Structure formats: C-alpha cells, structure tokens
Structure 1
C-alpha cells in the first residue's frame, strides 16, 4: 500500500514539473509566464499566458496587434534589446497593464500607441533612441511612465516636455538632452528656458539658448541667452530682452544713445555687447554704471567715437569682476581725435589694458588732410608728434631764440661797462647816465 502511495506521489511531482516548465530552443514556459530569446516560434501557446518577455529579437518591426491576437489574456509585455525600430499599435483593445519596450532602437512612438490599451498602468520606454514625443501623445489611464536614457533632441520644439504630467513621469528629473548644443543637461529646465525665451523675445530679433552652465557656487543651472538684433534698422537699444540675456548683437544699426545700459533693468545680466558699425559718439553716459564693472565683451568698432572718459573707464575696469582673463574690448575704426590733451592719457590706458583691447593696432587717429598723424595707430605715436603748437616755431625753438637774445644783451652790457671804465680812466669824466642819477 505504501509503495502505491509513493508511486502516485512520484507521478504527481513528475507531471507537475512537466506542466509547470517547458523549454523549447528559444522559449521557456512556466505557469502563465512565457520568456523567449531571439525568436517567438509560430506555435500554439496556452491561452492563460499573462506575462510575455521577449529579448534580443531579430525583428525590425514590433507588431503589437499580432501579439495581442496570439495572447488574448496578456497583462504584461516586455520587449528588451536588439533591432526593433518601429512599433505597430494594436487594432483592437487589449488587456495589457504593463508595456515595457526597453533598450530597442525605436526613434519615434505613435501618438495613438495607447489608444487601445484601456487597462494600461505602466509604460516603460527606457534606453531607446527616442528624440521627442508628440505633444498630443495619448496617455490614456497611465499611472506611470518611464522615459530616461533616450536621445532627446533639445534643438527641437520641446513643448511636449512641458505638457508632461510630473506625477505620471516617474523619472522626469533624469531625462537629459542628447547631442549639441545641450548634451547631458536636464531636459525639463531646458524646455522651460526655451519657452520663456520664445515668449519674451524682442520684436525683430532672434533669441536662442546658446548654452546652459552650472553655477559653481550655487550648483544651479544658468542659461546663456543670446539675442541677435543685427542689421534690423534699429535707432535705439531694445527696451526689453528675455530674462537673463547675456549676449546681445546689435551690429549694423543706427544706435547712438547707450543710456539704457545704465538705466534699464533688462540689461542687468548682459555681459557681451556688440555694437559695431552704429552711430555711437560717446560712452560718457555709462560712467558709474553696473554695466562697465560687469562687462565681459564690449565691441564698438566702426562708430563715431572721438574720445573716451579715460579715467572713468580705467576705474571701472579695475573693479570689473571679469578681469583680467574674460574681458574683451574693441575700439578700432573710430575717428579718434589725436590732440595733446586726449592722446597721452588714452595711450596709457591702451598700454595698461593691452591684453584686453583686442584690436589695439586698429585704434587710429582720424583722417585730417595735411596732418602727419592721420590714420596712424595711437599706441605708436610719440608725444612730440602730438604735443606741439600749430605755429612756425616749436617750443624748443622759441626757447633757443630767447636764450640767444639774452646772451646778446649780456654781452652788450658787459661791453658798455668796459667802455665806460676805460673812458673814465683816460678822461676822468663819469659816464653820462651816472651824472643824471640823483
């Protein structure tokens, strides 16, 4: 009797092991779970399968409609690794709650992918080649979505990022940009910066997010915003700029007044200003401004400058927080007035800040017909060639003439004294001038 019992138990265990785990060349089946590697054989499978895991498939297209038909009770589908580049949504509703498409080469997902997933709870799209999502991507009843380790393009329109629900996207703070210009930077802040720049951009200008850097002191991200208003027929500085604008190009306009640099808060973050080929004739209005002590690049080539407030500029540069390595100044192509009052102090400043003044050899005297200094580099002028009177004789020549006259007078007086003494000795008569003295 005991033998029969043991035999029955053995058969039961053997039957259970045969029905609980079956293995083919590519697949393993256990209870309601099927795992396949490289291939999904085209054979009948039990209808009770609820979990399907496929890895390293040699497919290019993943047809979810075909899988849904083969496994009508499927609740979790995982497709991991290899060459799949496109996903075909199912045509009919499925019972899948978890859809995992990970480490594939998918570049794009249809906005209607989940339209026939009425029970979907989790969507895992980690480690693919996705560069964007449609801004109208249907999330359905999703509770969680995972998107990290994709190749998100931050040069594209990122409105879809701002439309994401942060309570659903579990790894939104781990999403980063891929490729130039913001590789490795967090996706969500970049999207917010781009939206703000677009909304705040100055009319007639182009605004872009040039870079994003991390502040070493606060460890916070800081945008580097570039605004290009060159050759737009502007007659004054723009009255508004995107918040935290750092670089402003205004070449080829007709701007003369720089007062907004000192008074307009929109220029508070500005560091690089390019005003080449405008009509600026003075920067005196900037004396004592925040701009001069915080500038990084200041280009005024080809304007109408004839002189500068040298001492004010020198004082500002000494206090500038970007000195000495980051500051770049360009003053060439202006009609500088080369007189004895301005040139000596201007030369001292040019010599002092030669590493920062990048076009020092292009800073030349204005053209004046007949002037020997016309168009010569100011840094190379000698003081004697600038500081002279506009008369026939120089100062030295006048002094030489005066000395000659004085020498002649002294010789005349000495000669007269010798003559009077000789005359007195011979005749005993005093000189005429002595007889008239009281």
Structure 2
C-alpha cells in the first residue's frame, strides 16, 4: 500500500480530536474509484487495519456479506467509504453494531431510492459524507442523525435533498457542506442557524460562495428569484434576531431591485398578543405586519416610525382602530399591496385617501368588512356609490355596516329616504309659505282699495282704518 493511500488514515487517527477542538477542517475518509476491488470478487477491501472501502453494493444485506469476505474485523474499523452504491433503499439502522468505533462514514456517487432508519450503533461518528448522491425521496426518518453526538462535519454537497435531517450540534465547531445542492430549502438552513445561534456551538459553512438555497417566490413590482446565496440567508437570520418583543419574524422572500441586486424582505407576526400599540422598530426591510386580534386603537406609527416605510402588507383585523387619517402622507399608502382592517371600530372612511391610492396602483386591496360606520346622507349618496365603483379594490365591499340603526344594515342597502332630507321636501314647504304670503298681500291690497273707495264716496273711513291714528304722511291721500 502506498504512502499516499495511508495519508488519510494518519489524518483519521487524530481526526476526532482535531475537528472538534480546532478550527481546522478535516475531510472524511474517501478513496478514488480506481481503488475499487476487481469485479466478481469481494466488493469491500481493507485499505488499512482501521479503514474499509466498498464499491457497487446493492443493499444492506449485500454490504454485510462483503464485510465478511473482506476479512476486516469490524470492531476495529474507524473509517468506511461506500462508493457507487445502487439500491432501492438503505437502512442506517441495519449497519452492523460492531461498527461502534466508526469515526468517518462516507456514501458517495450512489443512487439510493429511500434512506431509512437511524444511525444508532455508531455514536462516535465525527465526519459523515453523503455527497455526490442521488436520492429518490426525502429522508424517511428526520431523526436519522440525532444520535450522533460527536458529529462535527456533515457533507451534503452535490445532492438533491431539500430538507436537512434533524441535527444536534454538540461540538464547539460544526462544519456543514451543502454547496452545489440544487434543492436545499432556505428555511431548513435557517432552522439550523437558529439552533446554533441559541447555543454555545458554532456553525461553519464549507465553500461559502458556492452555497445556495431555494426560496418561495415573493412578487411585488420587481422581478424575483428562487435561488438565494448563503450570505443572504445569513442576513435573514440577523433580521430574525431583530424581531420585536412578543412577535415572530419569518423570511418573506426576495425582491430583485436591479439586475444583480436582491433585497431581503421579512414578515412580522404579532397576532393574539393583547397588544395596545403597534410594535416599534421593525426589522429592516419588513414588508408584512400581522397584528390581528389585539387591542390596538391607533396606527400613528405609519407616520412616526421610519421602520414602517417598507411595509406593503398590513393585517390588523379584530382590533379597535377608529380612523385611517394617519395613512395620509405615509409611505405605506403609496406602496401597499394589502390593507386589512376587518372588524375594527371605524366610524367613517376617508374616501379621498383610498381613492388616490387606487388610482396610482391597480393591485391595491383593502378589506373593511365588519366595520360599523356612522351612516348619514353622505354615506347614502357618496360612499355607497364609491364602494360599488371600487369593487376590485374592496373584495368585501358588501360587508360594511351602519351602526346607527336598530339592526345591522349594510351600507349598500342604505336608502336615502332614511337619512336624507331632500330638496323636494324643502321646496314643497316653501310653496306653501309663498302662497300664504301672496294671499295676505292680495287681501291687504283689496282692503286698502275698499277703504279708499268708501272714503271717496261716503267721506269716512270704515273700521278699522277709522280707529287708526293719523300719520304724518296721510296728507298725501287728502
């Protein structure tokens, strides 16, 4: 055996100590394909008294048979590499219990339809290499690696899994390689980052610049991307750490602001927390805030708190918000996509504020159902028509109610006759007044004409003119 082939074993002998207590990164034990045993002979070969190399096995049972023909004493094996395996399934739990001194375990360049079981007898494994494989399905047991208390290096590069199995980091420095993995989900990496961030153990990524994960789409008015660089995921982790008290912050997505520049966005959820005020100091680039089912009465933070300037989705159903005037002049009213204020205490709707936003952007959606307004003549004449004209922006336009009626009357069912004193009513009263005044004027003219005729013909004034005192101007008629 050449000195070159022995080098990995020399490294392996101190591997358990070096990878756990030092900042150095040691690779798992692997062998090149040309070292595979000759076909039609045993598929496993000892490369050292403590190392075993197996090629082209097809099942757990086939692996165990070739362990035997290799002549290796399994209780001495500290390194195992399985290469070019093709199997319908591989059960970690069926590995021989004699491999209880295994430190490095590698399965590479293989196709395995299903991964089953847990690594239960190999608690000493410090390096696990599952790179360059094709797996037909995801992990059948998410706790497959949970018992590996000494695991310090995990290699999932060039594989097609989307979710990492549960990993308990219990060594000071843990190395993870998920580079060139085309399916790994960002949420899976974020969960692992969160676990390591809450402990005294440090998580390091191998090939940082070659590591990407897949995200869900987040569409606004920019183009979006599904492929997310690791540095961006780490930025999202920091945003979560900046989450307000009593709230949970999750990754929302990415917006492409230029051809090669993406903007990380976040969503903040503070529902059912009995809050009386809007949360302060939202994480940078927060686009969604959900405060449903609280006791909030004011939304003044949209103007006073600069961290609200990036909001596009605001869900505040089941609160005590009484007006929307704070939205006027705020960045939110120019940029929002969804404004949901169902079942609040709104008394009126500022039509001019909302109408301006509808005019600027066709996709704006506002939910106001369940609010009980103080309805008056203006409600029946203007608001009702406005609601009908903006149905595409107001999906629950027919669920807005009137409060000042003994029953819950919908604004759309409000009749002007119930709340308006129309011009026709006032005109009718004026006609009566004018007619009365004309009648009195005609009577007065007739009386004066009669009195004048009597005076000219009989020489005296009839009653009551004869009883009236003489005025200075009476000489005109004498």
- Distance (whole Å) between structure 2 residues aligned to residue 330 and residue 339 of structure 1: 22
Partner in structure 2 of residue 6 of structure 1: none
Mean alpha-carbon deviation: is it higher for 225-234 or for 59-68? 59-68
1:265 Cα deviation from its structure 2 partner: 2.0
Residues 381-422 of structure 1 show CA distances to partners (whole Å, capped at 9, x for unaligned) of: 344543329xxx94133223123224424654675698689x
SS in structure 2 at match of 1:437? helix
Is 2:199 aligned against 1:196?
no
CA contact (8 A) 1:79 1:100 kept: yes
Structure 2 residue runs of 5 or longer lacking an equivalent are 1-32, 130-152, 217-224, 466-472
Is 2:253 aligned against 1:212?
yes
- Distance (whole Å) between structure 2 residues aligned to residue 215 and residue 43 of structure 1: 51
* Aligned residue runs from structure 1 range 30-179, under 5 A: 33-34=36-37, 36=39, 41-42=41-42, 54-55=55-56, 57-59=58-60, 69=72, 78-86=83-91, 100-104=108-112, 105-106=114-115, 113-114=125-126, 126-127=158-159, 129=161, 131-132=163-164, 134=167, 136=169, 148-149=181-182, 154-155=187-188, 157-159=191-193, 165-166=204-205, 168=207, 171-173=210-212, 175-176=213-214
CA contact (8 A) 2:269 2:291 kept: yes
- Distance (whole Å) between structure 1 residues aligned to residue 44 and residue 303 of structure 2: 79
SS in structure 1 at match of 2:403? coil
Going from structure 1 to structure 2, the CA distance change for 1:124 and 1:413 (only over 3 Å counts) comes to closer
- Distance (whole Å) between structure 2 residues aligned to residue 143 and residue 284 of structure 1: 51
Structure 1 residue runs of 5 or longer lacking an equivalent are 1-29
- Distance (whole Å) between structure 1 residues aligned to residue 71 and residue 196 of structure 2: 30
Residues 255-307 of structure 1 show CA distances to partners (whole Å, capped at 9, x for unaligned) of: 11211111212222222222222222222233211111222222222222222
Partner in structure 2 of residue 288 of structure 1: 329
CA contact (8 A) 1:248 1:272 kept: yes
State the TM-score, normalized to the length of structure 2. Answer: 0.61
Partner in structure 1 of residue 286 of structure 2: 245
- Distance (whole Å) between structure 2 residues aligned to residue 409 and residue 368 of structure 1: 44
Going from structure 1 to structure 2, the CA distance change for 1:310 and 1:431 (only over 3 Å counts) comes to farther
- Distance (whole Å) between structure 2 residues aligned to residue 330 and residue 153 of structure 1: 32
1:337 Cα deviation from its structure 2 partner: 1.8
Partner in structure 1 of residue 395 of structure 2: 358
Name which of 329, 344, 348 aligns with 1:303: 344
* Aligned residue runs from structure 1 range 215-226, under 5 A: 215=256, 217-218=258-259, 220-223=261-264, 225-226=266-267
SS in structure 2 at match of 1:158? helix
Name which of 374, 383, 388 aligns with 2:421: 388
CA contact (8 A) 2:175 2:203 kept: no
- Distance (whole Å) between structure 1 residues aligned to residue 304 and residue 287 of structure 2: 17
Mean alpha-carbon deviation: is it higher for 125-134 or for 254-263? 125-134
State the TM-score, normalized to the length of structure 1. Answer: 0.65
Name which of 313, 316, 319 aligns with 1:275: 316
CA contact (8 A) 2:80 2:102 kept: no
Name which of 337, 342, 348 aligns with 2:374: 337
SS in structure 2 at match of 1:57? coil
1:234 Cα deviation from its structure 2 partner: 0.8
Going from structure 1 to structure 2, the CA distance change for 1:430 and 1:53 (only over 3 Å counts) comes to farther
SS in structure 2 at match of 1:34? coil
Residues 163-182 of structure 1 show CA distances to partners (whole Å, capped at 9, x for unaligned) of: 66455468423x5479xxxx
SS in structure 2 at match of 1:204? coil
CA contact (8 A) 2:256 2:263 kept: yes
CA contact (8 A) 1:293 1:317 kept: no
- Distance (whole Å) between structure 2 residues aligned to residue 309 and residue 145 of structure 1: 52
Q: Paired residues, what number?
A: 382
CA contact (8 A) 2:104 2:127 kept: no
Name which of 246, 264, 268 aligns with 2:305: 264
